[in-house]
A and B are shown apart, each in its own frame.
Chain A
Amino acid sequence: MSLENKKKILVVDDDADFVESISLFLEHNDFTVLKARDGSQGLKLARMEKPDLILMDVMMNERTEGFFTVQEMRRIPELAATPIFILSALYETQAGFRVKPQSSWLAHDEFIAKPVDMQALLEKIRARLGARQAAASPAESA
């Protein structure tokens, strides 16, 4: 694939090891990966780079940082339609806090529990971006 067609994915997570491993995985699968360590950095980078998709962790400096960062992103017109996948270990660490996996709350697109099944994540990313690409240029093949 040519450089211009590479999709940009922004990963926002304070866990350096996780970021490293998912970046390698995504780059290997022909995505350009941008990295941010927390919500503010993620917001700044998202505004500047206009990624095609955002992977957002929830618990960073604060336990709910990801959720509020998503709220802030959705207030920015250019980011209002960017697909956001929330990746979180909340299910495991906070007893009693459950978010229905397929629920459509929080103006995001997917809630994915950590530890992440990389292959499944890749399918979802491709499905989401592929669908958009198909919608944008139906004549071209992926």
Chain B
Amino acid sequence: MLPAADLPTYQAVFTANPYLPQMARIVRVYKMVKDNHLFTMRFIDSELAQTFQCKPGQFAMVSVPGAGEAPISISSSPSRRGVLEFCVRRVGRVTDALYRLRTNDLVGIRGPYGNGFPVERIVGQDLLLVAGGLGMAPLRSLLWYALDNREKFNKVILMYGAKTPADMLFREELLSLVDRVDATCLLTVDADPSGAWKGHIALLPAMFDHVRIDPATTHAAVCGPPVVYKFVLKRLLQLGFSKDRILMSLERRMKCGVGKCGHCSVGYKYTCLHGPIFTYWDAINLPEMV
């Protein structure tokens, strides 16, 4: 469980009024997967664009003036300054409005919020990332953080499963990782209607058969729909993972991002302050975590 002292400190710009969004321009909209577009944004204020810092796993509150605000995980790596990348699922009023915007349109951003992955705790050891379906969005920031700071980690393993190749987020980017010698990248789909897929065709948990993992020296970051959590957690526990070495990213309704509006509460914690990254130990101790 992360203590409150781990709250992010890069708030220089936002301390005066934490509710005031800073304006950013949409630099690029990449229609990555149906209803899951990747938005690249840059703050209008160039100094802010260069100095903005965040930890992998944090999120931002993205505003579309007139439509409202929504919490969206930051998918870009903190090591790549200048722009922020958000993988946005079209699922409600604000994201609908976001999808109607074009390059050069303005949005508001405030953040970064949330605890992010506990980087200080997981460096110097092995890192396993297990993503299912749309779960790759929050994990991508951690993946690139690890690859851009490769010397900080021992083994880096990614397992990612999607329904079909067309449903795979960041597909081209991840395919280019398959041949890296300094990381193990296992991409799998449940089925391949196109017939062109060169990767694995199997259910996600099967990827565990392709690697050797030492639970004592590995931290596992898992993100995906409930069915993925169910099977992957089971597998990890079978392998002997200690519950506080398994990290999960949660989502809840959020209106403030700073622990005041009350909506994101899970048990006795706030997802926006003590999360969105929780350990599996937190999960079984906090009621309502499921």
A and B directly contacting (CB within 8 A): no
Interface, chain A (partner B; CB < 8 A): none
